[in-house]
Amino acid sequence: NEAIPLVVGNTMYVTSPYGAIHALDATTGAMKWTFRLPDNDQPSKRGVAYWPGGDGAPPSIIFGGLSGGMYSIKASDGTLNAGFGASGVVDLKTPEVMQTGMNLAYSLLTAPTIYKNLIITGAGTGEGPGGSAGGAGPSGDTRAFDARTGRLVSFTSRVMLKYSAWVSTCEM
């Protein structure tokens, strides 16, 4: 687990390789709450993001699961934000990013980036012809979601270049 703790005020938020997010008192280490991911899912291995809330939505902890879900839980008590996506979870495995197959693995390898009321994320992609899954998997395109609702507000597709075309235009 490469989790990076996040401290906001006097609360430390950490991911666990055992399928949970924990909130601890940053001074004493006492457990405040634990959120267990459903269906044996595991949180992203490199931490969580904090959104301070707004327009009636509470401050939230945002993170991805290895199954392809992006979760929003209340920073105060670790319960799912019902108004975010489908009962607190947005399915990131959509056809436009899963171009090589919907049944392939998808994960957010790092915490999403928060900018104002946007959650900005990419995806863990396949690692080329000889690598993990032979280059198959999510496209890694950048997407932005509304932090209150989980609605997709921006999608930036990568430019598709063939390796040979790229090599022929590079100057060494």
| pLDDT tens digits, one per residue of 130-169 | 445 555 666 667 888 999 999 988 867 654 434 444 444 4
Size of the chain in residues = 172
Region for 139 from its dihedrals, namely left if φ exceeds 0, alpha if ψ lies in -120 to 50, beta otherwise: alpha
The pLDDT of residue 115 is 94
The pLDDT of residue 97 is 67
The pLDDT of residue 168 is 44
Q: Residues 93-120: what's their mean pLDDT?
A: 79
The pLDDT of residue 51 is 98
Between 88 and 159, name the one with better pLDDT. Answer: 88
Tell me: the pLDDT tens digits for 25-74?
999 999 999 999 999 888 987 889 999 999 999 999 999 988 888 999 99
* Three-state secondary structure readout of the chain: CCCCCEEECCEEEEEECCCEEEEEECCCCCEEEEEECHHHCCECCCCCEEECCECCECCEEEEEECCCEEEEEECCCCCECCCCCECCEEECCCCCCCCCCCCCCCCCCCCCEEECCEEEECCCCCCCCCCHHHHCCCCCCEEEEECCCCCEEEEECCCCCCHHHHHHHCCC
